Amino acid sequence: MKKLIIASMAATALVAGSVAVGAAANEDSGTVVRVIDGDTLVVSINNGDHTIRLLNVDTPETKDPNQPVECLGPQASKYLEEALPKGTKVRLEFDVERHDKYGRTLAGVFSPDGSLVNAEIARKGLGIPVQFGENRKFLPPVQAAYEEARTAESGLFSKEIDCTLPAQLAETTQGLEDAAEAAEATTSAAAGAAAAALVTKLAAAKSLRAVFSATKDANRAIYWAGLSAAATATALSALDNKITAGEKKRDEFQSQQSMLAAAEKKAEEERLAAEARAAAEKKAAEERAAAEKKAADEAAAAAKAAAEEAARQAALEAERLRRLPAPAPYVPPAPQPYVPPAPAPYVPPAPSKYTGPRCYAPGGKTWTPC
């Protein structure tokens, strides 16, 4: 009996030792060397550096050379740096699979105060739950923390952080509403600007719709939205309605732009024609005025020249007269005594042989044939 008891006690001690060894093998401790990104850090364990990948949580990318820096990725990295600064003592717990395909050690990381860092990152809205193969050990606390972040609209669920999908959805929806409610345009330029604004907003809305429509594996952005299937369907329906209304308003603005442009073109043509007529009339009036002024100037010049010539001639005549010698004083001739002329002796006319009738002059001394 005593041997049996001793054997039983030995077996119990062996089992207890095996459990202790197993528990010890499933956890470890170390010192933080540095943080790589929001879900990866380097820990010194037994004087060797090991890259630790936090289990059951995924944060936005910042280091993947094939991916752009994702929304809140830098903030997730900063949070982990502040939570686990260099030199921090941490406890590591492992699950079924110890390493991933990149050779990183998969673990739950506990801070000095006993908090599970994997879950705390999700609670801040900086990470999402994810399962790595058969490793599910830390998935429940990460999921619970993730739901807290969703309820509180923290981090990736915030509508106040521009890069998050909730914020983009709110901004895109509001932008479409504002653009669609723009006042009626009074000029083609204003209508064109309103249509262009709607085209831009519609492109952004359709791009966002494509993100919401994509699968999580095809587009990580929808992964960060954390929307359920029902919430995604509701968001898509609301977005589709806004897009439809925006397209209708865009068409109206484009139609207004065409009509206003035609009216403005006609008005501009009429304005240009009126300006051309006015310019022609002004030119004609200016030409008439110039011709009249020229004629008046020429007449004035001619009159001035004539006056100057007359003045010159008068001056010449005056000079000529000035140069003439003074006239001699007038001396009337002495009167001559009157001498009557001597009477001519009378010579009777020669007898005429005329035998015809005679016509005598008064006195009867002379006659002419009658």
User: Is position 61 annotated as part of the catalytic site?
Assistant: yes
Q: Would strands 367-369 and 89-93 be described as parallel, antiparallel, or unpaired?
A: unpaired
User: Is position 53 annotated as part of the catalytic site?
Assistant: yes
Catalytic residue among 91, 104, 148, 252: 104
Contacts of 31 (CB under 8 A, 6+ apart): 43, 44, 87, 88, 89, 90
d(CA 121, CA 144): 12
d(CA 285, CA 221): 74
DSSP-based three-state secondary structure for 325: coil
d(CA 237, CA 231): 10
d(CA 151, CA 144): 11
Catalytic residue among 53, 150, 209, 250: 53
User: Is position 268 annotated as part of the catalytic site?
Assistant: no
What is the helix (H) or strand (E) element at residue 209, kind and residue range? helix 188-213
Catalytic residue among 61, 120, 123, 250: 61
Phi, psi of 100, deg, nearest 5: -95, -175
Residues designated catalytic:
53, 61, 104
